[in-house]
Homo-oligomer: A and B are copies of this chain.
């Protein structure tokens, strides 16, 4: 990627190879157009774009100022918010008590002195508007964004298995409203994060992915912290969770939110724990509540709240192989045990909801008791918590607050669907947000793949958002390359799920790339892929020459062999004649094959002589056609 002229500190900018930013409709919805070679006569392919202004060369990026507030007027025009003094930042907000793991981070230079909050008695959640029949600009933005090129497919036969989802042929603003109103989709966008481009998470929309970032164990500058977010969304992260701990977490978060075009999620209990020096027993409702307000005013779009980790469930984890692997879950379990009291998150849930609706923050109800190994999958502790999350979902909905549900974890393939089915039943179709799941424990170093398998499957079954896993899972902290591999792996898993669900627009990209592959449009093949840089790099390792980019062969077979060419011959040949005539001259199929698709074509049985004569003609005809074309071999697809 080129670095465009931007004031320091710098982050990754520049267009994604072969693409340009386009703005669709009156709202100027940002999408990415992939240009194809003129020779193919195909229009550019428009794809969903999460990368924000960073991939738009026409934009000046200055992370010290933050992104434009595209939702500012929409929010204010509703007349239900008021400006209030921002809560004063205290030393403990930056974790002075904790270990210094993020290095020196200066405060964001343009912190807003006043922030927005719902007027007394008002509710500014998208769900609240939706339930009153109001279609917001956010909903309109989502509708345009989700459609992609699906208009081109009106009338096409749907090909997929959606397990009871209700994916429309065309997404209208009204459809978005109805999905949000019934809680089947959420649009996470805090009124204090007006920089965000609205997006929806729900099983009837495109499957989304989340990338986790966190402050570095070693000191690093602000730009590199912000760039983790920028890098994640460049490759397709739909939301980003900031899991930072230790010092400067408040300031780091401010830098990230002000520069993020995607929703930002956090786990507030982490910061609350910092404020009590890491001693879980010392956590109190007051400290936790103060932390929610602090982050709400900064603009965090969704909070992971582990309110389902209830005192009676904790002992259910005692017999597990890997016990409690969720950090938030273990913190609350420790609190419950040490006080032998019910979780304050559970007890105070409705008070938390009051805060959520004043800023339009969505719940991501945490699965603190999710399994951490194949051995613990689908056990009593996990499902006890899930049903409690279902109970809490209904309590949140009673106040028109948006909710999604977090899911496992580590689950063998045959137990994945049960997770989806129980979640749909227990949580009234609230969006499911799962971590993988990993389908085996024996491949540390490859857990982006063990989990990518589970992610694709549960996405197909109905999960709305997939939380990525990097190759470093269980082993260490992901670096820049790990983050990219994790994001791309989850993008392909999410897309495989969209394809299998029969999403009307998903197949457009596969078909465009397959046509490019068949026609040896190498550049188009690279540009249409999820990671054009890697695709071209791999190609060039074998055939670096510029000429090879347009050559009608590939390194797998060389110039002499190419199955793509023989197929073109088959086409020319089939085109040059009436197929029924062709078939009539072929050998009749052996009897006993009537139950096969071949048998069903019912070729007419012809006499030996007729067949012989016809074959001679065909052979002559063929030899007059493109037999000069060299013939071939496919790629190394094992023969």
Contacts and interface: CB of A to CB of B under 8 A. Distances in A.
A383 B596 contact: yes
Contact of A598 (B313, B330, B517, B534): B313
B497 A413 contact: yes
A535 B475 contact: yes
A340 interface: yes
A548 B386 CA distance: 35
A339 B622 CA distance: 8
Contacts of A243: 636, 638-639
B442 A513 contact: yes
B414 A333 contact: no
B500 A586 contact: no
Nearest to A306: B639
A44 interface: no
Contact of A413 (B500, B514, B543): B500
Interface residues of A, number: 185
A608 to B, nearest CB: 13
A611 to B, nearest CB: 10
Contact of A637 (B372, B452, B479, B511): B372
A476 B539 contact: yes
Contact of A327 (B241, B583, B619, B634): B634
A348 interface: no
Interface stretch (A66-74, A75-83, A176-184, A523-531): A523-531
A571 B529 contact: no
B375 A510 contact: yes
Nearest to A448: B449
Contacts of A60: none
Given A387-B596, A531-B443, A570-B317, A514 B449 contact: no
Interface in A197-220: 210, 212, 214, 217
Contacts of A479: 541
A511 B99 contact: no
A109 interface: no
Interface string A538-574: 1101110000000000111110110110111111011
Contacts of A375: 507, 510-511, 514
A543 B446 CA distance: 19
Interface in A453-500: 453, 456-457, 460, 467, 469, 471-479, 488-489, 491-493, 495-497, 499-500
A338 B160 contact: no
A168 interface: no
B499 A631 contact: no
A460 B615 contact: no
A616 B491 CA distance: 50
A64 interface: no
Contacts of A619: 338-341
B525 A444 contact: yes
A445 interface: yes
Interface string A314-338: 1101101111111111110110011
Contact of A496 (B340, B413, B622, B631): B413
Interface stretch (A6-14, A288-296, A587-595): A587-595
Interface stretch (A111-119, A145-153, A433-441): A433-441
So how many copies of this chain end up in the complex? 2
Contact of A492 (B267, B442, B478, B636): B442
Contacts of A509: 442
A562 B104 CA distance: 25
A585 B443 CA distance: 42
Contact of A597 (B384, B478, B567, B618): B384
A261 interface: no
A323 to B, nearest CB: 3
A488 B443 contact: yes
A632 interface: yes
A354 interface: no
A412 interface: yes
Nearest to A479: B541
Nearest to A477: B542
Nearest to A161: B414
A542 B217 contact: yes
A331 B443 CA distance: 39
Given A372-B514, A450-B492, 4 more contacts: A326-B563, A327-B639, A333-B566, A476-B554
Closest 10 CB pairs of A and B: A323-B567, A387-B596, A327-B633, A476-B542, A373-B514, A330-B563, A413-B500, A340-B618, A384-B598, A318-B574
29 contacts: A99-B558, A241-B639, A278-B560, A304-B638, A315-B573, A322-B517, A325-B564, A327-B632, A330-B566, A334-B631, A370-B637, A373-B511, A374-B507, A375-B510, A380-B601, A386-B596, A387-B595, A412-B499, A413-B497, A441-B514, A442-B495, A442-B509, A445-B531, A445-B537, A449-B492, A450-B492, A453-B457, A453-B496, A476-B556
